[in-house]
Amino acid sequence: MPDYLLETNARKQGLAPVAGVDEVGRGPLCGPVVAAAVILNPDDIPAGLMDSKKLTAKRREILYDEIAARAEISIGACSVEEIDSLNILQASLLAMRRAIDGLPRPPGMALVDGNRLPEKLPCPAQAIVKGDDKSLSISAASIIAKVTRDRIMADLAREFPGYGWERNAGYGTKEHLDALNALGVTPHHRRSFRPVHNILYQDE
């Protein structure tokens, strides 16, 4: 289970406040990549924070509201156009940097999930592999990012029905791939991703 040890160590070094940073949406065939940065109040941390993938959708929604009410949060995103232009890794890093830059106050330290750090950050940062299993701040960021992106995809599903985005969040499920073949590519699909690219250029 994640704890607050990494944050406590940073705070002891005078690197407060500490922000946890995570992103969601690298794998889907459509929609933006979304990142969140969260500064928890060490005296008021919601109970039950963990990697968003290990929580039910209902529990994520409850924790989202608790985090939003008790912590400082910021969302960063990169559009489909930016993903196709930059590549998904660079777009993910840029979304995380945007999330950090958007915080109400600059953090003294950013704990970033993964093994790569965004460039040109406004503060010292540490990359934490599987950080959402280790840091409560990163866990909180993973929940905020996941719920935010799922809501975006549910909204897009109403605009483009038939792809099942409200259920699959844009991932390449059988339902989604079948719909791609039957209904075609939407403006929200990532053209640089192979299943989408192959449909667009299958006649060439």
pLDDT tens digit sequence for 132-145: 999 999 999 999 99
Per-residue pLDDT, 201: 83
- What is the third-level CATH fold of 5-159? Nucleotidyltransferase; domain 5 (3.30.420)
Report how far residue 62's alpha carbon sits from residue 196's, in angstroms, rounded to the nearest whole number.
34
Helix, strand, coil proportions of the chain in percent (round to 5)? Answer: 45, 15, 35
Q: Please give the backbone phi and psi of residue 78, each rounded to the nearest 5 degrees, phi first.
A: -130, 135
**pTM summary value:** 0.96
Per-residue pLDDT, 203: 53
5-12 and 136-159 helices cross at what angle (nearest 10)?
Answer: 120
Task: Identify whether 106 is preceded by a cis peptide bond (ω within 30 of 0).
Answer: no
Rounded average pLDDT over 106-117: 98
Do you know the residue count of the chain?
A: 204
Domain boundaries, the chain: 5-159
* Confidence grade of residue 92 (pLDDT, cut at 50, 70, 90): very high
Instruction: Summarize pLDDT for 116-131 with one digit per residue, the tens.
Output: 999 999 999 999 999 9
Q: Please give the backbone phi and psi of residue 195, each rounded to the nearest 5 degrees, phi first.
A: -60, -35
- Tokens at 91, concatenated: 């777009």
- Rg over alpha carbons for the chain, rounded to the nearest Å, is 18
